[in-house]
Amino acid sequence: MTNNKYTVVAVGTGDPGKLPVWVGYLKAYIEKASTVKDRVAMPMVFPPKPGSFDGLLETIKAARPDMVTFTPHEDWNTESMLTLCVQLKAWNAELPVVICGENPRNRMQVEAAEKSGAIDYLVHGEPEKPVERLLEYYLNGTGDLRGFNIMPLSAAGKVLAAR
Amino acid sequence: MPESLDKLPSPYLSGVFDLRSAASVELVMSRGCANKCSYCAINESPLRYFSYNRIKKELEYVLARAPRLRSMLVTVADMYENDALAARVLPLLRRAAERRRFRVFFYVNVASLRKDALLRLSDSPWFDVEVGIQSIRPDILRLCRRIPDPAVIKANIENFKALAPSANKALGLISFLPGDDEQGYFDSLEWAISTGLGVAVNHLRVIPGTELHRKCAAMGVKVSPEYPYFVTRTDKLGPAAVRRLSALTGEVFFALRALAADPGLKKDFFRSAASLKTVRPHLFLAGALAGWWARRPATAPVVEIYRRNVLATGSLDRNPETGSFSPGDLRALRAEYARFKEFMGRRTAA
C-alpha cells in the first residue's frame, strides 16, 4: 500500500487516439463514490506504444500496486496484455490481476483468460460495482461476490470467492 | 449499477484527465440499450441516461480545457431514442461544434429515423451520424432481432437524407451474420453504396455472454479463438468464403474511400454505375476500380498501405469520408481513374 491506501493500478486503454474514458469512470467511481473511496487510490498508467502493452511492466512496478486492472480492446494486442499479466505474476505471485471490460463489448472469453494462468478475476459488464465488491473483499476480508458477474479464475481467486 | 447514472462521478469533472493535448474525447450520454439485438452485449444493462445538466457540464468542462479538440464521440445506443433529452442535447452539441469547429460522432437506430424534428436538429455538416442497418434481408434481420422490413429501412434512410442533408451520414452493416449468404451480403452492400452515403462494415464478433454466443455453435457459426473473436465460418459460408468476402469488401472500401476524397470522382463514379446493366453496378464498379488501382504502378503503393492498415485494425473504417490521402496520392488516383474509364469504355465498345 502507498500512503496507507490500497493501490489499484488501472491500465488506461481505450479507443486509439482517445482518452480511456471508461477506465476513467472506474477510477472516478472507486475513488469518489464507492464504499472504499477513502481507502483506495487508483492511479492510471498508459502503455508507451498504442496498440501494445509492451514496455509497461516497470511503470506498473514503480506504482507499487496492490492490485492491477486491465481492459481488453479490439485495437490493442491481447497477447501482449496476457504476457504482461504473466510477467506481473512472476514479479509478485500474490498480486491480484483483474480483467474488466471497459464497456460491455470488450470482454474476454473465460477459457482464454483462465488459460493464461495469470488472471485472478474476470469481470463482464459494467465494472464499477464488481470492482468495488472485489476491493471490499480484499480490504475487509469478507463479502459476497455472487450476483456481480465476477469470475474467479486463479486458485487464489477461487479460495477468496469461496470464503 | 446505480439507478441514476448521475450518481456515477464524471471522470472529466473529477479531473481524471489532462485535456490540454486531447484532440478527441468521448462523452458518455447513456449506458445500456432497450433493444435486444442477439449479437450485442450493451443490452445486458437496462437503458439509462445521464441528465441534460450533467452532459452540459461535462461538455463545458471539456470545451474550456481542450483547446486542440477536433472530434467528439457521443456514446449513446441511439441518439434519437430519448426524444426529450435529444431535443436539448443536439442543439447544445451543434452550437459547440459549429463554434469550435470539431466533429461530433454518434449512432442512431434506423427505426428512429421517423422522428422528423430530431432529424432536422441533426442537420449540421459537423455531425457524423452512423445508422445501424446490419443487413437488408428480412430473415437475417429477424434472426438478429432487428426490424425485419427492408422497405421501412430504405424509406427511413430517405427521410433522414431529406431532413438532415448536410449531416455526414454513414450506414453500418455487419458481415457474416448467421443465415447470411454471399448474395444476401452483396445485396446489402450494393444497396448501402447506392445510397451515396458513407458505408461501414463490421466483421461479426461473437461477444461472450451474448445470445449469439450461446447459440452460435448450434447455428454452425465458428469463431476465432483469439480476441476479439471474429466469426471465421457461418452456416452459409465456409472459412475460404469468409476470407474471400473480407478481402473483397476491403478492396471495395478502398475505392469508396478514394472516391469520398474527391467529389468529382465520386460524382462520376455514381453516374457511371447508374449506366451499367449489371446486377450490382456499384459493387461491380468499385471492385473493378480498386483492382485497377491495385495493379497500376503509380497507385499500387497507396493500396498496399491501406491493406496493411486494414489488417492491423481487423475492421474496416467506419466511414469512408474519414479516409485521408496525400495530394500526390490523389493526383495518382485521379490519373489512373481516367485511364480506367478509357479502358472500360474500350471494353464496352468492343
* B4-37 pLDDT per residue, tens: 799 999 999 999 999 999 999 999 999 999 999 9
Q: What is the pLDDT of residues B165-219, one digit of tens each?
A: 999 999 999 999 999 999 999 999 999 999 999 998 999 999 888 999 999 999 9
Q: What is the pLDDT of residues B103-154, one digit of tens each?
A: 999 999 999 999 999 999 999 999 999 999 999 999 999 988 988 899 999 9
Model confidence pLDDT, tens digit, residues A111-135: 888 888 899 999 988 899 999 999 9
pTM of the model: 0.90
Interface subset of A 112-151, CB within 8 angstroms of B: 112, 124-126, 128-129
Question: Considering only CA atoms, which of B207, B209, B203, B211 is closest in space to residue B237?
Answer: B203
- The C-alpha cell at B178 is 448467421
Percentage of chain B modeled with pLDDT above 70: 95
Q: Pick from B90, B91, B140, B134: which is nearest to B111 by CA?
A: B134
C-alpha to C-alpha distances, A113 to A77, A131, B104, B151, nearest whole angstrom: 14, 17, 36, 44
A98 or B320, higher pLDDT: A98
Which residues neighbour B120 within 8 Å (Cβ) at sequence distance 6 or greater?
B163, B164
Note the ipTM here.
0.91
Q: How far apart are CA B74 and CA A152, in angstroms?
A: 33
Q: Are B144 and B109 in contact (CB under 8 A)?
A: no
Q: Is the pLDDT reported for residue B278 higher than 50?
A: yes
Helix (H) or strand (E) holding A18: none
Domain locations along chain B: 14-237, 239-350
CA distance B98 to B167: 12
Residues of B in contact with A74 (CB under 8 A): 205, 227-228, 314-315
Identity of residue A114: E
Of B25, B40, B314, the CB nearest to A18: B25
Residue B72 CB contacts under 8 Å (≥ 6 apart), including other chains: B24, B25, B26, B27, B62, B93, B97, B102, B103, B104, B105
Q: Which residues of A touch B31 (CB under 8 A)?
A: 126
A-B contacts (CB, under 8 Å): 97
Task: Residue B229: list chain A partners with CB under 8 A.
Answer: 109
Nearest to B261 by CA among B200, B333, B341, B310: B333
Q: Do A33 and B28 touch (CB under 8 A)?
A: no
Model pLDDT, residue B270: 96
Interval A67-91: pLDDT, tens: 999 988 877 888 899 999 999 999 9
Which pLDDT score is estimated for A130?
92
User: Residue A150: pLDDT band by 50, 70, 90 thresholds?
Assistant: confident
Q: Does the distance separating the beta carbons of A129 and B73 come in below 8 Å?
A: no
Terminus-to-terminus CA distance in chain B, angstroms?
A: 68
Report yes or no: B10 and B54 within 8 Å, Cβ to Cβ: yes
Is the CA virtual torsion B84, B89, B94, B95 positive or negative? positive
Architecture in CATH of A6-162 = 3-Layer(aba) Sandwich (3.40)
* Beta strand ranges found along chain B (DSSP E): 24-28, 30-31, 48-49, 71-75, 103-109, 127-134, 168-175, 198-203, 222-223, 231-233
pLDDT on residue B320: 40
Omega within 30 of 0 (cis) for the link into B228: yes
Q: Is B23 on the interface with A (CB under 8 A)?
A: yes
**Which of B8, B17, B19 is nearest residue A29 as measured by Cβ atoms?**
B8
Would you call A109 and B26 a contact, using CB atoms and an 8 Å cutoff? no
List the 33-52 stretch of B: residues with Cβ below 8 A of A.
40-42, 44-45
Q: What is the pLDDT of residues A47-73, one digit of tens each?
A: 888 888 999 999 999 999 999 999 888
Record: contact A108-B315, CB cut-off 8 A: no
Residue holding cell 483468460? A113
Q: Which of B62-66, B87-91, B196-200, B235-239 has the lowest mean pLDDT?
A: B196-200
At A143 the pLDDT is 75
Between helix B281-295 and helix B300-313 the angle, nearest 10°, is 110
| B116-155 residues touching A, CB cutoff 8 A | none
Q: Which fold has domain B14-237?
A: TIM Barrel (3.20.20)
Q: Which residue of B has its CA nearest to A109?
A: B208
Q: Give B77→chain A minimum CA distance, Å.
A: 12
In this complex, do A44 and B8 lie within 8 Å of one another by their Cβ atoms? no
Which residue from A72, A104, A110 is facing B227, i.e. has the nearest CB? Answer: A72
- Nearest Cα to Cα of residue B334 among B302, B287, B310: B302
Cβ atoms of A11 and A53 within 8 Å: the answer is yes
**Residue A17: pLDDT over 80:** no
Q: What is the mean pLDDT of residues A40-45?
A: 96
The Cα of B148 is separated from the nearest Cα of chain A by a number of Å equal to 24
Within 8 A of A32 by CB-CB distance, chain B residues are 9, 14
pLDDT at B322: 42
Task: Specify the DSSP element, H or E, that contains A47.
Answer: none
- Mean pLDDT on B301-306: 88
Mean pLDDT over each residue of chain B, to the nearest integer:
91
**What is the pLDDT confidence band of residue B347, given thresholds at 50, 70 and 90?**
confident
For A131-144, write each residue's pLDDT tens digit: 999 999 999 987 77
Name the residue ranges covered by the structural domains of chain A. Answer: 6-162
Name chain B contacts of A125, Cβ cutoff 8 Å: 41, 44-45, 209
Say if strands B168-175 and A6-11 run parallel, antiparallel, or are unpaired.
unpaired
